[in-house]
């Protein structure tokens, strides 16, 4: 049942940082062939590979319809998963982007309670229909896990935000202020809703997203926290590249921002891969779309040995003690997203 009397923040909940201990990572099994035109045949096995990688360190929970369950389980087992850590849930979906249609979890550190925040989902401004099953996923997950659910009338996708777990949230104007999401809400109201639901104190605003991103500028293709006062941010050195201007603007914004203590953020630049193109379309390939799990960082790789290696080195410097595991995402990004886009972490009940 949705909780309406008090906000999560008022009840002591916050959204933990992704690097905090996790109980599970959620995926939604791929089945919409049109999402990966000309590349879908490779996608179920790629999801199975990713599920297997996660399962060796923690639980992986997958939304998959009953008719696809046996096939999904067989592929995941074939990929070498720890099947004791694989849990399949019969939640139907329209598509596979669990970061955006899945629940955004919050935790009360005092009690250990983990709860679900359930935002409206409209497929990035109504771009892809139908999306009704996707919009119902958070409520179904909450019921499956017996968790408290906090419902919101605001449209929000998980890929549009990133938090440091200590009061800061970073997002983009291009996405959250887009009229195709919440035309009746201004910046102040959106910030207030984020503070109330996710337990953050300050919202940091970047500008535009990268070329090829159909989400209108999700921040998880741009800039990610790696510690309370540190941010990894995508950069493009080539002034002729279509991404150069937007990424340079975001970098300058970050340099002008200050931490709650008044200091500068630690900024690590993450060079973009060379352009990835499919059927004449520039794809939103970005190393910023990594996924943090217990003990590791899964990094999208694009068959560019020098650039992939440089990105892995940058991530390793930011996450000491975690293995950086490159995952070939060249077919996956044909669907206009990679590792972070397909996943949603569920925090452990204790920090």
Q: What is the pLDDT of residues 49-80, one digit of tens each?
A: 999 999 999 999 999 999 999 999 999 999 99
Decide: 311 and 299 in contact? Cβ < 8 Å: yes
Question: What distance in Å separates the CA atoms of residue 159 and residue 224, rounded to the nearest whole number?
Answer: 11
Question: What distance in Å separates the CA atoms of residue 275 and residue 50, rounded to the nearest whole number?
Answer: 23
Question: What distance in Å separates the CA atoms of residue 28 and residue 186, rounded to the nearest whole number?
Answer: 32
Q: Give the model confidence (pLDDT) of 237-276 as tens digits.
A: 999 999 999 999 999 999 999 999 999 999 999 999 999 9
Decide: 131 and 123 in contact? Cβ < 8 Å: yes
Q: How far separated are the first and last CA of the chain, in Å rounded?
A: 26
> What's the pLDDT score for residue 1?
45
> What's the pLDDT score for residue 4?
52
Q: What is the pLDDT along the chain (351 residues), one digit of tens a residue?
A: 455 569 999 999 999 999 999 999 999 999 999 999 999 999 999 999 999 999 999 999 999 999 999 999 999 999 999 999 999 999 999 999 999 999 999 999 999 999 999 999 999 999 999 999 999 999 999 999 999 999 999 999 999 999 999 999 999 999 999 999 999 999 999 999 999 999 999 999 999 999 999 999 999 999 999 999 999 999 999 999 999 999 999 999 999 999 999 999 999 999 999 999 999 999 999 999 999 999 999 999 999 999 999 999 999 999 999 999 999 999 999 999 999 999 999 999 987
> What's the pLDDT score for residue 350?
83
Question: What distance in Å separates the CA atoms of residue 234 and residue 212, rounded to the nearest whole number?
Answer: 15
Question: What distance in Å separates the CA atoms of residue 284 and residue 28, rounded to the nearest whole number?
Answer: 20
Q: How far is CA 60 from CA 172, 235, 257, 341, 344, in A?
A: 29, 32, 36, 15, 10
CATH 3.30.420.10 matches 13-347: no
Contacts 24+ apart (CB under 8 A), 174-180: 174/207, 174/208, 174/209, 174/216, 174/217, 175/209, 175/215, 175/216, 175/217, 175/218, 175/219, 178/125, 178/216, 180/122, 180/124, 180/125, 180/126, 180/216
> What's the pLDDT score for residue 351?
78
DSSP string, 169-209: EEEEHHHHT-TTT-TT--HHHHHHHHHHHH--SEEEEE---
Active site residue 341: yes
């Amino acid at each position: 049942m949705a909780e309406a009397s008090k906000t999560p923040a008022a009840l002591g909940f916050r959204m933990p940082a992704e690097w905090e201990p996790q109980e599970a990572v959620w995926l939604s099994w791929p089945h919409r062939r049109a999402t990966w035109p000309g590349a879908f045949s490779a996608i179920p096995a790629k999801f199975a590979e990713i599920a297997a990688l996660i399962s060796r360190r923690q639980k992986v929970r997958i939304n998959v319809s009953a008719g696809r369950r046996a096939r999904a389980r067989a592929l995941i087992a074939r990929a070498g998963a720890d099947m004791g850590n694989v849990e399949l849930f019969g939640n139907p979906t329209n598509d596979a982007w669990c970061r955006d249609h899945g629940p955004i979890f919050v935790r009360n550190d005092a009690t250990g309670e983990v709860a679900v925040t359930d935002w409206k989902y409209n497929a990035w401004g109504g771009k892809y229909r139908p999306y009704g099953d996707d919009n119902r996923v958070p409520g179904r997950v909450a019921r499956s896990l017996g968790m408290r659910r906090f419902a919101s009338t605001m449209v929000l996708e998980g890929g549009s935000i990133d938090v440091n777990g200590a009061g800061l949230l970073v997002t983009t104007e291009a996405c959250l202020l887009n009229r195709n999401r919440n035309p009746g809400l201004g910046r102040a109201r959106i910030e207030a809703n984020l503070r109330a639901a996710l337990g953050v104190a300050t919202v940091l605003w970047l500008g535009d997203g990268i070329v090829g991103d159909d989400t209108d500028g999700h921040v998880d293709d741009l800039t990610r926290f790696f510690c309370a006062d540190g941010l990894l941010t995508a950069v493009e050195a080539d002034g002729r590249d279509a991404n150069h201007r937007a990424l340079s603007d975001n970098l300058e914004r970050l340099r002008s921002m200050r931490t709650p203590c008044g200091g500068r953020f630690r900024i690590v630049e993450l060079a973009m891969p060379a352009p990835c193109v499919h059927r004449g379309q520039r794809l939103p390939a970005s190393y910023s779309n990594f996924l943090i799990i217990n003990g590791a960082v899964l990094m999208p790789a694009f068959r560019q040995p020098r650039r992939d290696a440089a990105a892995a080195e940058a991530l390793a410097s930011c996450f000491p003690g975690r293995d950086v595991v490159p995952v070939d995402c060249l077919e996956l990004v044909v669907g206009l997203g990679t590792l972070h886009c397909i996943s949603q972490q569920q925090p452990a009940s204790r920090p």
